Structure 1
Amino acid sequence: MKPVKAKILLADDDEDDRLFFKDALESLKMDTEVDMVHDGEKLLEYLEDDSNELPHILFLDLNMPCKNGFECLDAIRQSTRLKDMTVAIYSTSGDDRDIETAFVKGANVYIRKPSDFDMLKKTLSEVLNVDWQFRTGGLNKDTFLFSI
């Protein structure tokens, strides 16, 4: 039986960050397919479109136009179709209030965007190799903030 290709969705308004993410992912040589959206409204349109396959994991930036990451996370967790989707907050913010809010709103993990290409590759590799369906049952604040 052929392994399932990991479907990844990145919601980030910064074009450089999207390209950096895509380059790092491609360099890992993992069997992935990545789609990208550049704002919160586009993200929710994408997720609500039944013709789009839901991602295995969503990397969600907090600071985006139209709808920010927290507003998107609220909508995802309130949707019957989307509520169990794995959501990784992917942000430059290391503010304790942002981390706490993301945890309370139901994100699976909080990742501070690495500025170094090798650190981004290592982060993506680690995050994509977690069985999130198994891990979501035991979420706790100590393991919520992802660090390498």
Structure 2
Amino acid sequence: MPTTRDQDPFHILLADDDADDRQFFSEAIHELKLQHTLTVFRDGRELMEHLESPDREDEDFPHILFLDLNMPYITGFDCLRAIRKNPKFNNLSVAIYSTSSSEKDIEETFIGGANIYIRKPNDFATLKKVIKDVVNMNFQFHSSGMNLETFLFSI
């Protein structure tokens, strides 16, 4: 994983079954003018097929995954479990990106190894701020003193 985000394009993945949410996320990334590549998946099955593909190049390795929890075929919870079981994904930061405010969901994803939990913002300006803050976060530092309070991202 690059030490600075200015040198190489930052590779972001988004897995979300809601077409409007995918569109808003893509537009927010575009407006932020980040040096990035964004790959979008409609469900957990597409995401896992991509991550586990033997044809994927190592330089195409994602830096961060924004992962919705409630998706068809393979849920975000199941994707998180599979990702954290595979040592090849140890350096992949996983940001849970969900409408759920359930304490159970937050706790389960914290225990499951996600790096941060983000409640989907209701407006575009807040979404842009969330993406900018999370993409610029140093997850090694953030994770070192992480507890349930710091796991839940708030603006």
- State the TM-score, normalizing by the size of structure 2: 0.91
Are the aligned partners of 1:77 and 1:84 in contact in 2 as well (CA < 8 Å)? no
Provide the residue aligned with 1:7 in structure 2.
Answer: 11
Q: In structure 2, how many angstroms separate the alpha carbons of the residues matched to 1:68 and 1:7? A: 22
Structure 2: 5+ residue stretches without partners: none
Provide the residue aligned with 1:44 in structure 2.
Answer: 48
Matched to 1:112, the amino acid is: R
Identity within the alignment, %? 51
Is 2:136 aligned against 1:129?
Answer: yes
Q: In structure 2, how many angstroms separate the alpha carbons of the residues matched to 1:18 and 1:56? A: 18
Structure 1: 5+ residue stretches without partners: none
Provide the residue aligned with 1:140 in structure 2.
Answer: 147
Matched to 1:30, the amino acid is: L
1:124 deviates by 0.5
Are the aligned partners of 2:14 and 2:65 in contact in 1 as well (CA < 8 Å)? yes
1:32 deviates by 1.1
Secondary structure (helix, strand or coil) at the match of 1:66 reads coil
Provide the residue aligned with 1:75 in structure 2.
Answer: 82
Secondary structure (helix, strand or coil) at the match of 1:81 reads helix
* Counterpart selection for 1:90 from 92, 97, 121: 97
Q: In structure 2, how many angstroms separate the alpha carbons of the residues matched to 1:57 and 1:139? A: 17
Matched to 2:89, the amino acid is: L
Q: In structure 1, how many angstroms separate the alpha carbons of the residues matched to 2:75 and 2:90? A: 18
Matched to 1:6, the amino acid is: F
Deviations 1:67-115 (A, max 9, x none): 1000000000000211331000000001111101110101000000012
Deviations 1:22-72 (A, max 9, x none): 001110111111001111111111111241522100000000000100000
CA RMSD of aligned residues (A): 1.4
